[in-house]
Structure 1
Amino acid sequence: MSDSDIQGNAWTVPPSSYFSARTRPYSVPATPRSFYVPMRDGCRIAMDLYLPQAVANTPAAGPFPTVVIFTPYNRRFKLMRDGIEPTPNAARYRDAFVPAGYAVLVVDVRGTGASFGVRDALRSPNETADFAEIADWISRQPWSNGAVGSTGISYLGAAACFLAGSGHPAVKAIAPLFAVSDIYSEQLYIGGLLSTVWVSDYDDMMVALDQDDRELIQKFGYFNNPGYAGPQPVDEDPDGTLLAQAIAEHRNNFKMAELAPQFLFRDESTLHDPNLNTSACSPFHYYAGIRPEVAVYSISGWYDGGGYANGAIARFLTLQNKHNRLLLGPWDHGARTNVSPWRDKPASDFPLMAEVLRFFDQHLMGIDADLQAEAPVHYYSVHANTWHAAGQWPVAQASHLHLTAEGELDRQAPTRPATLQARTRFDWSSGASTRYERLGGYNIENYYHDWQQRESELLSFDTPVLTEPLSICGSVLATLNLSASEGDAAVFLFLSEVQSDGQVRYMTEGMLRLSHRQTSQPPANYKIDQPFRTFSRADARPLTVDKPETVEVSLFPVGWTLPEGSRLRLSISGADQGHFPQVPPGRPPVLALHLGQSTSALTLPVVN
């Protein structure tokens, strides 16, 4: 089935219908104006400007609202032959907004592309401070009407949040797409566990781009077109002399694999800079700076990395603005793939840019796009293959299932005590076609294709065969009474649908390093819909060997409808090789679930 916007009557005016009716009187220039703009410290930042054209090669009169895109993935590539799209990272925004009457400015963030400078961290304060300066520069230009918005996928979407968080008065609306709120818990140390795929493979991709290493870039399908010849120099640099100087500076860029160990705890800063920690590099840290009138559209997918959907939900809950919106679809990171096993094809049919255009028309262009007629929340239910609208988040009611010694998930709590053991295998892996490979820069189309065989090796618990459909939407919470044979351990929980024919489909997962089991109240400027952990050194504590404790583990949010005849399955592991490190190294713990006297249960977000 398709994920198109007409699956389910969730919109009064579907995005595709809005886009079809929207006049787009302008054309996109064949090539942009390209130039450097100096920052406060003299660092020259490379930019491409696309102005709407009323006739070919002639900019329209303007002035225009501006959509600014901040990217570390090359604003534009130099081409070795014609017929290739030179802007794979920004073309979708250019082609959606310029014909509709927006100026689009694409920026190489400092230390990347043709920009000068050095990156000293992922989204460091030194880098993100440039964004407000660039908004100042936009506001002074004769083609600008003074209204600025920003959007983009992943890094680009987080950059939009940093721009809005600067409090700049020109910023009217942002649409962060598939973007984190908290680097620590959603990207770097998911559940307190280092995301090894992201740290290693993403690091390689950035080295390849920043240093124009055309051999290394070949492993990444997004950027390995043989027609690409590195970053495009700006107009004033026809022979590439300035570009070569900029790339030489990039050789001093940080390496994530070297920086990550310094962020082992969320509250600890690097030794070389007491102000550099994961919070300082996280969008949520700056949400209080977003002016209350700025409209924010948070968009993510059920398989979006290691909890990026949590970031979208937290952003929606934290920024209490009547104009804010939330969209959660059946997508991987960036919506390159519709992850539903029942899809017609891998590529998504949803008109994502049409939805963002309508949002910007309302809040940036000043057009009445009738958004007030639409619900603020839209989500897709996998297997039911339908979109739904909701007036708030969460959308579901809690329902409880208890783990039993017979391997069941039962509505009734067991009465007799029992202990089940799961011996950790450090060689067990969830596979090489997971949500994490996508974060590492790989193009995955058939997610968890070998899940049935892999899951069969785990301790699992099933519901009885469903006698009616079960629809869940949100984060499943596992409350487990467990112990371990070591002073630290990790627990990985997987949710699956077992179909009537025995086919097992991966749904979602969650994990926790048990030394981070302590929960806490979230900070006042950050709201989430699941247990919060500080991940601080002060709250981290070892396990007492073989002593049972009650632990809460939240799974990544998902929208899924299990039909009559299927079963819901919970599976448990102590490791996921290739994605997360061993805990503790070389000492595979025995995990023991204690049932009966103390409840171990799932809390399901059930939609009636």
Structure 2
Amino acid sequence: MTALAALLCAPAVALAQPYPDYARESLYVPVRDGTRLAVNIYRPATGGQVATERLPVIFVFTPYRARIRNAEGEVVETALNDNLGLRSLLRAGYVVAVADIRGKGASFGARRGFQDRTEAMDGHDLVQWLAARDYSTGDVGMVGCSYLGGTTMHTASTAPPALRAIFTGASDWDKYAFVRRGGITAQFNTRPDEPLSDDLASLPVDADPDGALLREAVAQHADNTSMAGLWYGMPYRDSVSPLTGNAFWDEVAIWRYADTIREAGIATYMWGNWNDEPTSDVILAAENLGSRLLVGPGSHCETPRDFAFTQEIVRYFDHELKGLDNGFAEQPRVTYWSDETGDAGHYVRGGEWPGARSQTAAWYLGDGSLAARPPEAGARTFAVDYDVANDAYFAFWPSPLDEHGLVYDGAPLAEPMDLLGFPTAHVTIAADRPDVDVFVYLEAVDAGGTAEVVSFGRLKASQRALSAAPWDNLGLPWHSGREADAAPIPAGQSATLIVPMLATSYHVPAGSRLRFVVTGADPRQRNLADLRQDPAPRITVTHGWAYGSRIELPLNVTGDE
């Protein structure tokens, strides 16, 4: 085993743990507008003695409640979970602080919007408050995944002077392109809001033993803006939200604050997993920020397997916040999981994003076929099937939808194929309506017939016009989503939709085959009942050399040693 492999696969390598114990306190901290936010502080300790020296602080800002009593009566504390290395950071000599965002948990206030500037400035104020404590060195880091990853990014976008480094997982670079990718809401951010009873399960702060303040705080949460209602109410990138009164997509677009983050000198480490929709945004963010990047196997916020993940987090903050010469500065910027047959794979480290050197190979849609050569001209028509819903509350990755649309099957591969990077679909369609939603899926089907979705994308036909992205889009097609650029398909005409699909690392073994599926609805559209049309739209996909309906595959032909 090489030295690199030993480092990557060394979860058993012991981390320095000079502080096996901890002491906790919780209190309300007012931010600039006077709103009191619940903050839980965990300080390293040894043998019941709290550390007296000043230590760096790791801050976590969550909507999911810092401390709760679950249905079984057990106390669950975010800071004592090691999924993001928090318990290990405590043991390694960091103060860990976890705060509930306004409008959630035990904090007061109401949430105006999902990750708005109010919440960002709350994060700023808490970072500066933590830096000024007598147990703090004045150096603060943040860590989080999913919504918690978003709070790290939005707090960083306000450039708190004390914030030195962030470790961010499964967050977005551009909220519009994430939630309404292709102009269509089909994403887990549109789930229903949690009931107030969930917040009432929070444990009160220390000075509120009978929970009176907790109940008062949670009563204010009834005024929170509906998350799904916010997204559904803004169909275009430049829509003005009826709930916030402004162009809210702009307010919550991290890319607009990229210069602020860079100029502040905040170190950034971005993380995602291949089977998770935010990972494509994570790669874009890392490349535009010059960030470190980790892409592991697995789903949403899962600890990457076969990787010393906790050790990576502690080493990162040891380097950035403690200034330790631990070799992290010399470590390559990018690490990603390279898929192999079955569950096998290995990590690759280097200086370029996954797929930067991949070559494009076009596979063409035919009369039910998918092949490397264009077919004879033809067309196939299907009626949109709205009966695609399933019971998954968090559908981070879709299941095969071959029973709900057009299927294009490839022949079994004579040689294995390694996909690495972003596929792109080109689909020429006509429809009996001026506008339709189009979903595309790339699937791998093994010799036994078991199918798995490798990548997917979506695009509303009226938003097909290509534009120049306001950031480095890594050469991918980009649609503005602005209202002025929307164009229905003229009656009797066809239109070509160029659909960017999600990044992937996938090994297709010899004997397996590729499959391409086109549908007009997706289970992650939580508003299918509102979208249903009777009769259902009919969509025709044309194929042949003149129409160019195809999928462009990113082939990893150069190797990844």
Per the normalisation by structure 1, the TM-score is 0.84
Match of 1:419 in 2: 379
The structure 2 residue matched to 1:389, chosen from 330, 349, 357, is 349
Q: Among 144, 153, 156, which residue is 1:164 paired with?
A: 156
Secondary structure of the corresponding residue to residue 297 of structure 1: strand
Counterpart check, 1:467 vs 2:448? no
Q: Indicate yes or no: 2:363 matched with 1:402.
A: yes
The whole-number CA distance in structure 2 between the counterparts of 1:487 and 1:89 is: 52
Q: How far apart are the structure 1 equivalents of 2:433 and 2:314?
A: 53
Distance 1:376 1:295 in 2: 12
- In structure 2, which of residues 474, 478, 481 is the aligned counterpart of residue 532 of structure 1? 478
Q: In structure 2, do the counterparts of structure 1 residues 515 and 16 end up closer, same or farther at CA, with 3 Å as the change threshold?
A: same
CA distance in 1, matches of 2:430, 2:164: 51
Please say if residues 174 and 294 of structure 1, whose CA atoms lie closer than 8 Å, have aligned partners that are also in contact: yes
Q: Give me the whole-angstrom Cα distance separating, in 1, the residues matched to 2:71 and 2:554.
A: 52
8 Å CA contact 2:443, 2:454 repeated in 1: yes
Q: CA distance change for structure 1 residues 523 and 571 in 2, over 3 Å: closer, same or farther?
A: same
Deviation at 1:206, TM superposition (A): 5.7
Shift of residue 130 of structure 1?
A: 0.9
How far is 1:59 from its partner? 1.4
Q: Secondary structure at the match of 2:18?
A: coil
Count of residue correspondences: 547
Q: Residues 207 and 247 (structure 1 numbering): CA distance in 2 closer, same or farther, change over 3 Å?
A: closer
Matched, 1:579 2:525: yes
Task: Report the Cα offset of residue 11 of structure 1.
Answer: 3.6
Equivalent residue in structure 2 for 1:499, among 446, 454, 479:
446
Which position in structure 1 is the counterpart of 2:186? 195
Q: Aligned partners of 1:79 and 1:270: how far apart in 2?
A: 36
2:451 & 2:67 partners in 1: Cα distance? 43
SS in 2 for 1:17: coil
Equivalent residue runs for 1:474-553 within 5 Å: 474-524=421-471, 527-553=473-499
Ranges in structure 2 where 5+ consecutive residues have no aligned partner: none
Please tell me the residue identity of whatever aligns with 1:425.
D
Deviations 1:440-481 (A, max 9, x none): xxxx9xx84xx4xx5245322233321211000122101122
CA distance in 1, matches of 2:320, 2:445: 44
Q: Secondary structure at the match of 2:314?
A: helix
1:595 aligns with 2:543: yes
Mapped contact 2:363–2:553 kept (Cα < 8 A)? no
> Which of these residues, 179, 204, 209, is aligned with residue 238 of structure 1?
209
Q: Kindly indicate whether residue 555 of structure 2 is the aligned counterpart of residue 606 of structure 1.
A: yes
Q: 1:81 to 1:578 in 2, by over 3 A?
A: closer
1:426 aligned counterpart, secondary structure: coil
- What SS does structure 1 have at the residue aligned with 2:215? helix
**Correspondent of 1:23 among 4, 13, 16:** 16
Q: Any idea what the Cα deviations from partners look like across 1:284-325, whole Å, max 9, x if unmatched?
A: 332221034322111111222xx31122011111113xxx21
One-letter code aligned to 2:63: P
Give the partner amino acid of 1:478.
A
Query: Aligned in 2, Cα 1:19/1:417: closer, same or farther, shift over 3 Å?
Result: same
How many percent of aligned residue pairs carry the same amino acid?
28
Aligned-pair CA distance for 1:349? 5.3
Opposite residue 356 of structure 1, the aligned amino acid is: I
Question: Would the alpha carbon gap of residues 333 and 235 (structure 1) be closer, same or farther in structure 2, given more than 3 Å must change?
Answer: same
User: Corresponding residue for 1:263?
Assistant: 234
The offset of 1:396, in angstroms, is 4.0
Indicate the SS of the match to 1:37. Answer: strand
State the Cα distance separating 1:578 from its structure 2 match.
Answer: 5.5
Matched-pair contact (CA < 8 Å) for 2:377–2:543: yes
Q: Secondary structure of the residue that 1:257 maps to in structure 2?
A: helix
- 1:12 and 1:172, CA in 2 relative to 1: closer, same or farther beyond 3 A? farther
Secondary structure in structure 1 of the residue aligned to 2:206: coil
Report what 1:316 is aligned to. Answer: 286
**How many angstroms apart in 2 are the aligned matches of 1:540 and 1:48?**
48
Q: Is this contact kept in 2: 1:196–1:581, CA < 8 A? A: no
Query: Does 563-572 or 263-272 show the bigger shift?
Result: 263-272
Contact 2:361 2:555 in 1 (8 A): no
Q: CA deviation at 1:383?
A: 4.3
Which of 536, 543, 555 is equivalent to 2:501?
A: 555
Deviations 1:321-361 (A, max 9, x none): xxx2111122211117x8xxxxxxxxx55443222222212
**Are the aligned partners of 2:466 and 2:477 in contact in 1 as well (CA < 8 Å)?**
yes
Confirm or deny: 8 A CA contact 1:400 1:601 kept in the other structure: no
Question: Greater shift after overlay, 283-292 or 110-119?
Answer: 283-292
Residues 152, 469 of structure 1: alpha-carbon distance in 2 compared, 3 angstrom cutoff: same
C-alpha spacing 1:422/1:403, structure 2 compared with 1 (3 Å): farther
Q: Shift in Å at residue 154 of structure 1?
A: 0.7
The 2-side partners of 1:585 and 1:129 are apart by 43
**How far apart in 2 are the matches of 1:602 and 1:490?**
18
Say yes or no: does 1:140 pair with 2:132.
yes
Amino acid at match of 1:67: I
Structure 1: gaps spanning 5 or more residues: 1-5, 213-229, 339-347
Match of 2:514?
Answer: 568
* Equivalence for 1:298: 270
**Is the Cα–Cα contact under 8 Å of residues 65 and 102 in structure 1 kept in the other structure?**
yes
Supply the distance in 1 between the matched residues of 2:92 and 2:313 (Cα, whole angstroms): 12
Cα distance, 1:18 vs. partner?
Answer: 7.2
- After superposition, the Cα gap between the structure-2 partners of 1:196 and 1:174, relative to the gap in structure 1 and judged at 3 Å, is closer
Deviation at 1:428, TM superposition (A): 3.5
Q: Cα 1:267–1:404, aligned 2, differ >3 Å: closer, same or farther? A: closer
What's the secondary structure of 2:20's corresponding residue?
coil
